[in-house]
Structure 1
Amino acid sequence: MCVLTPVKFRLQLFEFEDLPWFPKVIRAGMMDYLRFTISVLRIYQPIVPLLRAAVLQAGQPNLLELCAGAGGGTEGVWRSLRASGLPLVSVTLSDLYPQPAAWQLLAERTGGGLRYEAAPVDATAVPAALTGFRTVFSAFHHFPPAAAEAMLADAVRQQAGIGIFEGAGKHWYELLLAWLVLPVVQLLTTPFIRPFRLSRLFFTYVVPLIPLCTIWDGTVSVLRMYPPEQLLALARRADPLGRFEWQAGKVRNPLTRSEVTYLVGVPKRN
């Protein structure tokens, strides 16, 4: 069926949350919903074994999450890594548009296992003081090819392992979900999202900017995603000397039957 086939082209359209002038309150509401949905559905649980192996191979037990947004899914991945034999692993959340209010909740709930960098962090030029195995969840598609390559090249330059994870497989049916199913889910679940914000209710039910912008950004996210072969091509250009081992592909979530697209790079050992 057509809806089950992959979307083979990539369109560099805009997303509202990328725009510098976009109202912070709307961006925060969209990020809160994304965090809530990813966490409840455990979208990124299938990549835990892959991430654990890469972290051990790189010898970098702590994670630096770039482009963290509201931290969607990070707590679940962190808890699973701890349960899998990495009891001391920690995560530092960072973003070009930091969300300390959402991150503080995660830090308190994890007893400091999740911490955050309050200053803006450019994922293409990470400060040397921020160390650890780099992860990017649900955000790599925001970067056009030149910037995406720059992000990977910065990891190679600083010898920091990196894992890119997108919570979709780039299929036509995912566009249908973004248009027909997820908006209904958003309307039903918004009252249960924490921390509670009156602004989130107002811009969901009275002036529905949050769901409308979420529909647009969700559609564009699928269209902007890089399939595995393009991820590998970016990695090879970012690492012309072959200093890293790279792998890319997709893994399926047995609970939701959805796919996660990934790229993992680990420094080669001399």
Structure 2
Amino acid sequence: MKLRLRLFEFEDLPWFPAVVRAGMMDYLRFMISALGTYRPIVPLLAEGLRRTGQTQLLELGAGAGGGTETVWRALCAAGLPEATVVLTDLYPQPAAWADVAARTAGAIRAEPGPVDALAVPEHLPGLRVIFSAFHHFPPAAAEALLRDAVRAGRGIGVFEGAGKHWWELLLAWTALPVAQLLLTPFFRPFRLSRLVFTYLVPVIPLCTIWDGTVSLLRLYAPAELLALAARADPAGRYAWQAGKKRHWWGPEVTYLVGWPASN
């Protein structure tokens, strides 16, 4: 699917109710973790950590931390037991982050204050990664995010849990909303507000359908990701690669990774 539209997403709007945003993030975290969406790109992350001499992933735009625990456990199993993750977001999700921190004995922890992915503070080191969120940035901002990593000399990995196909839109309109309605009572940590805004006033599932559709339409293709990287790194200081990694059961992950070429 080559169509690319820049429509709005509810979760990007500053006035959007935090309780509804949190409910949407809880759903995404559950589904990404349950499906192991980002397992195919664990070898890329392991390579990035080794090439940059890091043991820490700095996750930007982490939302509720969807899939992060699965990725961390896969890294440990891949021979990197010292790997840690720091979660950051412009809109922090302390309740969700505390839950994953407790389950991982602090190997996954959070930066409590807001963090702008376009201007990451110097005191936050690590291989920068962004899962399921790069499409939120229009081209100028996406380029600025990559440029900030180059300026700081940090490795960067951008990952989207889709390959941008028409059948993925069909899933977003049919099977996934049904799954959301069936699985919501099992999301943790428990929130009464999540039940209210899913079943009594179904704002969470309706906004999720809209945002999921728009997300697919806003995804950057690998060629577009490489073009953004070239503009962010005009001196060619970094080694970049982009493409798609496929799950054994079908779905794809679109990715861009880059690190200083000297490494």
TM-score greater than 0.5 by the shorter chain: yes
TM-score, length basis structure 1 = 0.96
> Partner of 1:29 in structure 2?
23
Amino acid in the other structure paired with 1:269? S
> Partner of 1:117 in structure 2?
111
* 1:59-138 pair list within 5 angstroms: 59-138=53-132
Identity over aligned residues, as a percent? Answer: 70
> Residue by residue, what CA displacement relative to the aligned partner does 1:230-249 show, whole Å, maximum 9, x if unpaired?
00000000000011100000
> Residue by residue, what CA displacement relative to the aligned partner does 1:202-230 show, whole Å, maximum 9, x if unpaired?
00000000000000000000000000000
Compute the displacement of 1:65 (Å). 0.1
**Pairing partner for 2:47 from 53, 69, 76:** 53
Counterpart check, 1:267 vs 2:250: no
> Partner of 2:226 in structure 1?
232
Structure 2: give runs of 5+ residues left out of the alignment.
none
> Residue by residue, what CA displacement relative to the aligned partner does 1:28-65 show, whole Å, maximum 9, x if unpaired?
00000000000000000000011111111111221100
Counterpart check, 1:166 vs 2:160: yes
Runs of 4+ in 1 over 3 A off after TM superposition: none
> Partner of 2:36 in structure 1?
42
**Pairing partner for 2:178 from 180, 184, 200:** 184
**Pairing partner for 2:216 from 219, 222, 226:** 222
Rounded Cα–Cα distance in structure 1 between residues aligned with 2:77 and 2:174: 36
Compute the displacement of 1:167 (Å). 0.1
> Partner of 1:3 in structure 2?
none
Amino acid in the other structure paired with 1:133? L
TM-score, length basis structure 2 = 0.99
Counterpart check, 1:249 vs 2:243: yes
> Partner of 1:198 in structure 2?
192
> Partner of 1:209 in structure 2?
203
> Residue by residue, what CA displacement relative to the aligned partner does 1:119-178 show, whole Å, maximum 9, x if unpaired?
000000000001100000000000000000000000000000000000000001111000
Compute the RMSD of aligned alpha carbons. 0.7
Compute the displacement of 1:269 (Å). 1.2
Larger mean CA deviation between 53-62 and 36-45 belongs to: 53-62
Compute the displacement of 1:182 (Å). 0.5
**Pairing partner for 1:154 from 140, 148, 158:** 148
Q: Secondary structure at the match of 2:23?
A: helix
Q: Secondary structure at the match of 1:34?
A: helix
Amino acid in the other structure paired with 1:131? P
Counterpart check, 1:8 vs 2:9: no
Rounded Cα–Cα distance in structure 2 between residues aligned with 1:264 and 1:212: 33
Rounded Cα–Cα distance in structure 2 between residues aligned with 1:161 and 1:142: 20
Structure 1: give runs of 5+ residues left out of the alignment.
1-6
Rounded Cα–Cα distance in structure 1 between residues aligned with 2:55 and 2:194: 36
Compute the displacement of 1:259 (Å). 0.3
Q: How many residues align?
A: 263
